[in-house]
Amino acid sequence: MSRISPAIVAAVFSLAAGVSHALSAGPNDAQIAAIVVAANSVDIDAGKLAEKKGHDKQVKEFAKRMVTDHTGVNKQATELVTKLKVTPEANDTSKSLKDNGAKEMDKLKGLKGKAFDKEYVDNEVTYHQAVLDAIDKTLIPNAKNAELKTLLEKVRPAIDAHLQHAKHIQASLK
């Protein structure tokens, strides 16, 4: 059985705690915007590192896809909040995403070859599942602005596709 990184576990629990808190308090649109931007930024940073340090060709290609797709979502989110005159509002969930993303980056920077690939892909599986759960259980249900909700609904299938792709790579690396 593979060992799950403490950083991955911390990221999942942190996102779950933020989701749990958000469910009770209900994040506002500005907080949702900050969560979306943070989640995408964390994955962009990890993807850029994996493009450089990845050992397996499919890992490097997946990383490139993550950078491209998540950069596109952040661009759409930024354009939307600018149009709506909404300033993303940092909150416990967006802060924990950034903090745990930084911890995972530190761990990834210390790995090479197959160990790097495995850690990166394992993290991508866990991370995309947590983001998908947050979209379904917190972000979409609490988005008040119709355009923001539509953006979340529009990107949801891509996040699910990323999760399935990461699971496929994960299985092939074993």
pLDDT digits (tens, 9 = 90+) for 134-169: 999 999 999 999 999 999 999 999 999 999 999 999
pLDDT, position 174: 83
Contact 156, 128 (CB under 8 A): no
CB proximity list for 4: less than 8 A, separation 6 or greater: 122, 126
Residue 39 vs residues 51, 57, 67: alpha-carbon distances, Å: 18, 25, 12
Per DSSP, helices labelled H in the chain are 6-25, 29-53, 57-84, 92-109, 113-134, 140-142, 146-173
Amino acid in the structure at residue 29: D
What structural domains does the chain harbor? 6-173 (1.20.1260.10)
pLDDT, position 22: 43
Contact 159, 45 (CB under 8 A): no
Over range 69-97, report the average pLDDT: 92
Report residue 14's pLDDT band, with 50, 70 and 90 as the boundaries: very low
pLDDT digits (tens, 9 = 90+) for 92-108: 989 999 999 999 999 99
